[in-house]
């Protein structure tokens, strides 16, 4: 079967800290507090429930591999993780990637090789720019 690609456009925010040690989150919310240490992008045009059925079906296969590319102002970060047959993918505002195997309706990726704290700090500085465009590409074979 061919690769399925989801492209999400989100924005930067002055309160992005990206210091969470086990997760990273993309949200449709436009405002966040400084307590939201896992959020890496706001005002996203998609959340877990919005992913294509084809993507969801592949993500729910055992041993599925998901690649996440985060692109902002010329910098690119790659995150690799796995899907799971237990994924729910129904949250209306959020997408969460996790280093652990914990699954909620927001989880789209488990066993991630990176969390928010692991992202390149130059990239994180760009994510803090209010309104800057962030392109997040999800790829699954």
pLDDT digits (tens, 9 = 90+) for 27-62: 999 999 999 999 999 999 999 999 999 999 999 999
CATH of span 4-140: 2.60.120.630
Strands 133-140 and 65-72: antiparallel
Q: Note the pLDDT of residue 1.
A: 64
Of residues 118 and 141, the one with the higher pLDDT is 118
Residue 141: is its pLDDT beyond 90? no
CA 91 – CA 103 distance, rounded (Å)? 12
* Burial status of residue 80 (CB atoms within 10 A of its CB: 0-12, 13-18, 19 or more): middle
Q: How confident is the model at residue 121 (pLDDT cuts 50, 70, 90)?
A: very high
CA 136 – CA 16 distance, rounded (Å)? 16
Q: Which residues contact 89 (CB under 8 A, 6 or more apart)?
A: 48, 49, 51, 56, 59, 60, 105, 107, 108
Please compute the mean of the pLDDT values over residues 60-84 and round it to a whole number. 97
Q: Where are the domains of the chain?
A: 4-140
């Amino acid at each position: 079967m061919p690769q399925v690609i989801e492209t999400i456009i989100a924005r930067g925010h002055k309160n992005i800290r990206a210091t969470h040690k086990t997760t990273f989150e993309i949200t449709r919310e436009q405002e966040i507090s400084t307590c939201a240490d896992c959020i890496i992008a706001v005002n996203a045009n998609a959340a877990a429930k919005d992913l294509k059925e084809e993507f969801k079906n592949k993500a729910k296969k055992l041993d599925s591999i998901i690649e996440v590319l985060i692109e902002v102002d010329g910098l690119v970060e790659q995150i690799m993780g796995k899907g799971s047959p237990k994924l729910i993918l129904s949250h209306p505002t959020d997408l969460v990637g996790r280093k652990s195997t914990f699954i909620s309706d927001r989880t789209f990726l488990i066993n991630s090789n990176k969390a928010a704290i692991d992202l390149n700090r130059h990239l994180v500085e760009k994510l803090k720019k209010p309104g800057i465009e962030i392109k997040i590409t999800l790829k699954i074979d």
